[in-house]
């Protein structure tokens, strides 16, 4: 109680209270009736936001401090590995998960890397627990794909196999989608006749979910021409896509807005380590948001530590994004993109009680997370330094 509530969908409520029952938000506002047996946490003068959401990360798929043993991001044995699942590689007790809680991060989209044209499916999960299956919110919640330098370098240059060019990347992507179309047609034609049913193919099943618009194809793109290629393919197959990284999205912001293509911008506060990053700008998120493009932000952890997502948002504000746009980019926008907008991303009645309590405005460099709540339970407390599942 007594916190300044940044609800995201209902404005800012000063000196407000959030009532939590059975892990859900039961009420919020300035005139909340508090049950006599309620546990009261006074956060006077502090700011309460929805739990922060990292729209694109590799937390504990690429484990810190373990070298090759901890690098499980990329199954670089074939440019199309739609059958692999990020959830099978995540160590929920790794350092990154605990770091996430210290930064108010309650939900992440954890995904394979970008070595393959189609790399596997990602999972939307909560950041507290030690049994990954119990942390899953939605899986699969997107099929990871990639364009540009990464697949070209991993195959054409390294293995002397397709794809070697941008033409090759697009062709491999189209071929995979066409094979999945044919697979779905065979299943439909077989009907209830088991003898006519094609052999089960886990990869084609997953791509089939993309074709049926059940999940988006989430495509690693830096250059604006690669982004346009992905939009072209999305129209050819009538599929949902998002642009991951979106380094040059500011060059085609009107085009993205017209086509309502969601983008996930970042990691923004790193060096320009690749040719594709030459035109990277901290203004990208703000320019695109101002045009009406649905913008989310990422850390791409461990490229940027996951608990610094709020600082990434602060830099975007410094370079033109409004505070409201930046808050939405780390709450409700990624919640919707990751398929869980009905559960998290805002302070609303009936949603999961995933909250972050801040000592100052989240975009203030001096701000610290006082408490992180998941499902109404304190999973991190600044006072004790304890995260549920470990000590930070």
End-to-end CA distance of the chain: 26
Q: What is the domain range of residue 136? A: 51-344
Instruction: Decide if 279 is inside a domain.
Output: yes
Rg of the Cα atoms in the chain: 21
**Residue 392 clears pLDDT 50, i.e. is over it:** no
Instruction: Decide if 20 is inside a domain.
Output: no
Which pLDDT score, from 0 to 100, does residue 282 have?
Answer: 97
Instruction: Decide if 154 is inside a domain.
Output: yes
Which pLDDT score, from 0 to 100, does residue 67 have?
Answer: 74
Instruction: Decide if 383 is inside a domain.
Output: no
Instruction: Decide if 2 is inside a domain.
Output: no
Least confident of 131-145, 146-160, 332-346: 146-160
Instruction: Decide if 78 is inside a domain.
Output: yes
pLDDT in tens, 245-269: 999 999 999 999 999 999 999 998 8
Number of domains observed in the structure of the chain:
1
Instruction: Decide if 357 is inside a domain.
Output: no
Cis amide linkage into residue 140, ω under 30° from 0: yes
Query: In this structure, what CATH number is given to the domain that contains residue 141?
Result: 3.20.20.140
Q: What is the DSSP pairing of strand 241-245 with strand 263-265? A: parallel
**Residue 239 clears pLDDT 90, i.e. is over it:** yes
Q: How far apart are CA 49 and CA 348, in angstroms?
A: 11
Indicate the pLDDT class of residue 391, thresholds 50, 70 and 90: very low
**Tokens, residue 42:** 């006074």
DSSP state of 226: H
Which pLDDT score, from 0 to 100, does residue 161 have?
Answer: 87
Which pLDDT score, from 0 to 100, does residue 388 have?
Answer: 64
Instruction: Decide if 282 is inside a domain.
Output: yes
Which pLDDT score, from 0 to 100, does residue 390 have?
Answer: 45
pTM of structure: 0.95
Q: What average pLDDT does range 234-255 have in this prediction?
A: 99
Q: Taking all residues of the chain, what is their mean pLDDT, rounded to a whole number? A: 95
């Amino acid at each position: 109680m007594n916190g300044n509530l940044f609800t995201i969908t209902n404005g800012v409520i000063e000196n407000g209270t959030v009532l939590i029952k059975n892990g859900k938000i039961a009420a919020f506002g300035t005139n909340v009736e508090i049950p006599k047996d309620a546990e009261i946490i006074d956060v006077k003068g502090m700011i309460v936001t929805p739990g922060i959401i990292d729209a694109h990360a590799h937390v504990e798929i690429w484990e810190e401090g373990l070298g090759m043993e901890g690098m499980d991001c990329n199954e670089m044995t074939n440019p199309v590995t739609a059958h692999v699942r990020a959830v099978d590689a995540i160590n929920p007790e790794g350092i990154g998960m605990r770091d996430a809680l210290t930064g108010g991060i309650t939900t992440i989209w954890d995904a394979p890397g970008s070595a393959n044209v189609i790399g596997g499916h990602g999972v939307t999960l909560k950041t507290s627990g030690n049994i990954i299956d119990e942390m899953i919110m939605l899986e699969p919640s997107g099929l990871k794909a990639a364009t540009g330098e990464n697949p070209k370098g991993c195959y054409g240059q390294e293995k002397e196999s397709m794809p070697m060019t941008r033409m090759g990347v697009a062709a491999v992507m189209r071929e995979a989608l066409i094979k999945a179309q044919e697979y779905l047609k065979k299943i439909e034609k077989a009907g209830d006749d088991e003898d006519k049913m094609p052999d089960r193919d886990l990869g084609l099943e997953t791509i089939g979910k993309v074709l049926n618009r059940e999940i988006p194809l989430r495509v690693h793109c830096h250059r604006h021409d690669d982004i346009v290629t992905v939009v072209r393919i999305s129209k050819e197959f009538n599929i949902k896509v998002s642009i991951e990284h979106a380094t040059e999205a500011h060059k085609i912001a009107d085009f993205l807005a017209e086509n309502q293509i969601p983008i996930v911008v970042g990691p923004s506060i790193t060096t320009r380590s690749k040719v594709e990053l030459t035109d990277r700008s901290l203004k990208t998120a703000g320019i695109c948001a101002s045009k009406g493009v649905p913008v989310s932000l990422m850390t791409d952890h461990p490229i940027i530590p996951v608990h610094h997502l709020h600082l990434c948002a602060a830099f975007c504000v410094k370079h033109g994004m409004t505070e409201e746009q930046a808050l939405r980019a780390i709450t409700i926008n990624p919640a919707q993109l990751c398929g869980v907008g009905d559960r998290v991303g805002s302070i609303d009645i009936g949603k999961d009680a995933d909250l972050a309590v801040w000592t100052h405005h989240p975009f203030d460099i001096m701000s610290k997370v006082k408490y992180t709540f998941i499902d109404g339970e304190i999973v991190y407390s600044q006072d004790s330094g304890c995260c549920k599942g470990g000590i930070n």
